[in-house]
Amino acid sequence: MPGQLQHEYISKGRTIPDLIQRAQIDNDLTGTQEYMKSFSYPPNVSFRSVDEILCKNNTCRTTVGPNLATDLVVWDYGHVTESGALFLSKIIFKDIEDLISD
């Protein structure tokens, strides 16, 4: 996604939207997500894909706020920014709280 943002928006002086069309590239070149999904997890344990959290209906979140300097979600393939980590952790912790309360 960072390359797509640079090419389509930053280099052209365009505002980066909150969501963009999923890049037409494989975001998981090493197959890590499929590998992690293939494990036989114990009951009440599951794999949660960052890609599935950030991308829905063929669009992916780019920012978590209006400030480009502090609100980008990803730094490069495989690395989220501090803002991205905070955004993801809130969702993941909510999932954990929901599981515990059931």
User: pLDDT tens digits for 14-38?
Assistant: 888 888 887 655 556 567 888 888 9
Q: What is the mean pLDDT of residues 51-76?
A: 86
Q: What is the mean pLDDT of residues 71-92?
A: 89
- In 3-state terms, what secondary structure has residue 14? coil
pLDDT at 33: 80
Q: What is the mean pLDDT of residues 44-49?
A: 84
